[in-house]
Structure 1
Amino acid sequence: MNEHNPIAQLVNLIQRQWMEKTANKPALRFVRFIIKPEEARVYEGFCKLESSEHGSLPEVFVTQFTDFEDEDTYSAALIKDWLNTYEKSMALVEQVNQRALFAWDPRPFKQLLERNNGAPMDDVLLSLLGSFRNTLPQQHKQLVLALIPRQVSSTKAMKNWIATLLKKGIPAGVKLLVIDHVNVDHFAFQERQFPDMICSIHVPMDLQGAIQKLATTGNPNDPEIMLRKCVFEMGAALKDKDIKRLHRWGQQALDSTQRSGNKGLFATAHIMYAGMLFHFKKDPKIPELLERGQRIAKLGVQMKDGACLPLLVQFYGYHGAYAQIRRRFTEAINWFIQQAELAEQHKFSQQSLNAWYQAAELCRRKDSGRYYDVLEKGYKAGLHLSDEEISASIYIYLLRDYYDYAHAHRQHDIVQAIDEKMGRVFGNDWKTDVDTIRKNREPMILPLEMEQTETLQPQK
């Protein structure tokens, strides 16, 4: 890892805090990172780094992203994912064996998992962790299971699951690690419940400063560096609600990127500037920026500028979002449909599905006569997705809604196909699970917030 990289320095800070807080605590079994939501990627990066051959901590980290559905099935799901990951990591195991003997046998646990009759598998998971830890080389006799579920159906149930494992007895030399949020404390326990067994770590960090420093490092006359600086300055102006300063930096972004002659960069400046102004809904500059930026992106596509096609897809979404903000719902639906069709044409699957879902939801609330036609197109747009892609995308909502439509219209083949597909992904109670996920998810965010990070990634 590049030690001069500001994000790498934050990871190093987490590593130092980990060593300071967990050292010389043989009874420690459960560690809770307390973070701000925007810091999640940094901590996930820390866990992934320590789970690789590049980790620097003395413990062996294993990071699992297994969904938490309920406390009776989570241990079995973890065992299954652990065994699959181990099977796919044999090349790494061979590397370890070249340095020190490592002879862990997964077969007994695979057999126990296959014989599982639905009973909780907590004891089997604890046995697996102890077995794996005992086979580690002497210099790495500590094991950390880092749990970062992609989805959690109930934080209360997951806390109960953790408490059950702590009461049963997590093997010596094994720790569970979870990520919790500041002032929320989903997974906090009282010290008297589990004396000396629990530890909470909070690492104060200036993430925004690190991102800005990373993004603006380099030649200040480089138009890409200048654009990043302008975007950060626009963000600071927005935070201060200083519209004049925001316009000043927005214009500077346009001027510097126009001089570069780079159509993709010039179009990006327009979309970033317009996106910032979305927070001032009536600003007359917004439609001007969107229309001009879209023309530039179209010209860039014609000139074979590879950056301009995804930007053009984004512009359709921004037009739709702006029309929706202005309560011009028919216009917004048409823009989202155009975005979906363009994205689908060029195989941008996730952008297409997001646009179909936005169009369908807007039709459901504002233009019911078009709802099922749009919903069907969204359903068909995701038929090619794998189970893993489905579970991580907004397509689960399109499937859930189209299932109800197909069921009401006695389209039995479609009902059966969706039921089988979603049953593989979520289990027999998939409809309840998807409804719960949708109910608890955060409101849909503006295109800027979804795509700004990708657009501003520093070039390698």
Structure 2
Amino acid sequence: MINNEHNPIAIRISNIQSLWIENREKHPDSKIYCLVCEPADYQLIEGFIRLEASEHGCTSDIIVGFKTDFDNKTDFYRFLIKEWISSFSVDAEENPDWDWGDFSSFKSESASVDVLNENQLRDLYIRLVTSFKEFVGNENLLGITLFISRIGDVETLNEAIKDIVERLPEGVALILIDYKKRDVYNTLLSEMKDKVCLIDIPNQNMAGAYKEIATQGDTHDPKVKYRKCLFDLGEAASKGNKDEAKKLGNELIKLSREIGGTAFMASSYLIFGGFMVKFHREAGFCHDLLDKGIALVLPKYREEQECAQILLQLHNYKGTVHSYNKDINGAVNQFMTAVRIAKELDMRTEVVNEYNYALLMALKKDRLTYEPILNEAFEYGYSLPDEELRIINLSFIASTYLDKEYRLDSSTRDEITKRMSDLYGKDWQLSTKELAAKLEAEYSLKHQK
């Protein structure tokens, strides 16, 4: 067990360790151990697996973990093989006394996995795992943890895991993690229920853990007071308690003055204003807070990058407040102000991002409003070299330009389309809707209902 009674994270990981030990004792022969948790607790599960995979683990089980996405069985099996070989190669360098006799043979076989079909890859993976289990011995469970982030096809993923589990040797099991109510592995768990151990992880109250960590220290220290006040402000705002939020926000500003630092004080106005945005009929109050933050960083943004970043965020939040109040022109003006500041400082990523926000707003108006912004945004972004555009996503601006600029000739359209396809893939325009939705959500630009 983790011996750290004062560490909130360690305590929670210890809770998971206890649940693991309890369930392993009750179900020693399961082939699938599925830990089901709240989304906020997912990182705790990762921490538990990392701990158990290290020399500091509390069980005798041998735990390994692999992170991947899932698109299809072939790529999935291929990844598992390559990653196993790669991971062991690194570990073997640090532990030269390890003597997995078949490793060299599997390493040679892995060089040709790109030409193997789905079944060949699956069988190679099973042979590899079986050999590794013989290498580590039969006394302990070998638990293979699969952290699967993006899932392209849930049904096929369930089939792939079932294909593996049915062929695993004795003493080897898969460890899966799922969110409560997501039920990704329902089909698998139902079909293999006699071989499954479902471990329900109670809500570990990670918000409370973070608050405990943030507020540890001398209770008279302004920084400790500030962190506690910040958490309390967030809780008050989430509960819709406007009067309490205002009281705590003013306390936050007061504490920021005690701590000092222009950027820090301005960020406190930004935080306070950000929490107040959600409250009805507080637009004037929000603008007042954000304007005070702007007044602080405006004299220093050219010399201090931190002040520049906060200045952009302050204008973005002012744009958000305007959009909440259906003042599209006001929102556009704020985002375009941020564009000018970012251009002045040659912050190219920020320039394109601010153009995105301005364009999202302007498109809610007529052509006279959005066309100048669209042309300016496209001209700026398209002039950037490919190396930068691979990092700075221009697809929303480019797609909108192709859609709205009817005067383009076919050769110019083809040239733009080809360049975007080369940069972002053939489906670059399909991803534009996703990007637009992400931009909308990022600064809550949708009108309040």
Q: Smaller-chain TM-score range?
A: 0.7 to 0.9
Q: Which runs of 5+ in 2 are unaligned?
A: 445-449
Residue deviations 1:230-251 (CA, integer Å, cap 9, x gap): 1211122223321111111111
Partner of 1:426: none
Change (3 A) 1:254 1:142: same
Partner of 2:107: 107
Change (3 A) 1:50 1:226: same
Deviation at 1:403, TM superposition (A): 10
CA contact (8 A) 2:256 2:264 kept: yes
Partner of 2:167: 169
Change (3 A) 1:80 1:403: farther
Residue deviations 1:246-286 (CA, integer Å, cap 9, x gap): 11111111111112222232122211111111111421310
SS at match of 2:96: helix
Change (3 A) 1:439 1:414: closer
| Larger CA Rg, structure 1 vs 2 | 2
How far, CA to CA, are the matches of 1:78 and 1:110 in structure 2?
A: 11
How far, CA to CA, are the matches of 2:238 and 2:10 in structure 1?
A: 26
Change (3 A) 1:414 1:334: same
How far, CA to CA, are the matches of 1:53 and 1:128 in structure 2?
A: 23
Partner of 1:75: 77
Deviation at 1:368, TM superposition (A): 4.4
CA contact (8 A) 1:61 1:144 kept: yes
Asked if residue 144 in structure 1 is aligned to residue 144 in structure 2, the reply is: yes
Q: 1:35-434 residue pairs with structure 2 within 5 A?
A: 35-51=37-53, 55-83=57-85, 85-86=86-87, 90-98=89-97, 100-102=98-100, 104-105=103-104, 106-116=106-116, 121-136=121-136, 142-149=142-149, 151-166=150-165, 168-189=166-187, 193-204=191-202, 205-283=204-282, 284-299=284-299, 301=301, 304=304, 307-339=306-338, 354-366=353-365, 367-369=369-371, 370-371=373-374, 373-374=376-377, 377=380, 383-384=386-387, 395=393, 398=396, 401=399, 410-412=412-414, 414-423=416-425, 430=427, 434=431
How far, CA to CA, are the matches of 1:408 and 1:14 in structure 2?
A: 61
CA contact (8 A) 2:249 2:272 kept: yes
Higher mean displacement: 366-375 or 245-254: 366-375
How far, CA to CA, are the matches of 2:56 and 2:351 in structure 1?
A: 37
SS at match of 2:151: coil
Change (3 A) 1:198 1:138: closer
How far, CA to CA, are the matches of 1:46 and 1:396 in structure 2?
A: 40
Change (3 A) 1:210 1:361: same
Residue deviations 1:300-357 (CA, integer Å, cap 9, x gap): 54674x6434323322322222222222224433433554665687787876665454
Q: How many corresponding residue pairs?
A: 431
Partner of 2:35: 33
Q: What TM-score, normalized by structure 1, do the two folds share?
A: 0.77
Specify the code of the residue in structure 2 equivalent to 1:172: E
Q: Which runs of 5+ in 1 are unaligned?
A: 424-428, 448-460
SS at match of 2:182: coil
Specify the code of the residue in structure 1 equivalent to 2:274: G
Residue deviations 1:46-70 (CA, integer Å, cap 9, x gap): 3444455655544444433322223
Q: What TM-score, normalized by structure 2, do the two folds share?
A: 0.79
SS at match of 2:70: coil
Higher mean displacement: 120-129 or 261-270: 120-129
CA contact (8 A) 2:399 2:429 kept: no
Specify the code of the residue in structure 1 equivalent to 2:183: D
CA contact (8 A) 1:68 1:74 kept: yes
Deviation at 1:169, TM superposition (A): 2.2
Change (3 A) 1:433 1:69: farther
Deviation at 1:208, TM superposition (A): 1.4
Deviation at 1:407, TM superposition (A): 11
Deviation at 1:109, TM superposition (A): 4.1
Change (3 A) 1:32 1:195: closer
Asked if residue 5 in structure 1 is aligned to residue 2 in structure 2, the reply is: no
Deviation at 1:116, TM superposition (A): 2.8
Q: Could you tell me the percent identity over the aligned residues?
A: 21
Deviation at 1:217, TM superposition (A): 0.8
SS at match of 1:225: helix
Partner of 2:447: none
Specify the code of the residue in structure 2 equivalent to 1:197: K
How far, CA to CA, are the matches of 2:141 and 2:377 in structure 1?
A: 56
Specify the code of the residue in structure 1 equivalent to 2:148: I
Specify the code of the residue in structure 2 equivalent to 1:179: I
CA contact (8 A) 2:266 2:294 kept: yes
RMSD: 4.0
How far, CA to CA, are the matches of 1:246 and 1:30 in structure 2?
A: 47
CA contact (8 A) 2:64 2:145 kept: yes
Higher mean displacement: 222-231 or 435-444: 435-444
SS at match of 2:128: helix
CA contact (8 A) 1:215 1:225 kept: yes
How far, CA to CA, are the matches of 1:120 and 1:434 in structure 2?
A: 34
Deviation at 1:293, TM superposition (A): 1.0
How far, CA to CA, are the matches of 1:376 and 1:321 in structure 2?
A: 25
Higher mean displacement: 269-278 or 190-199: 190-199
CA contact (8 A) 1:375 1:398 kept: no
Higher mean displacement: 343-352 or 365-374: 343-352
CA contact (8 A) 1:323 1:329 kept: yes
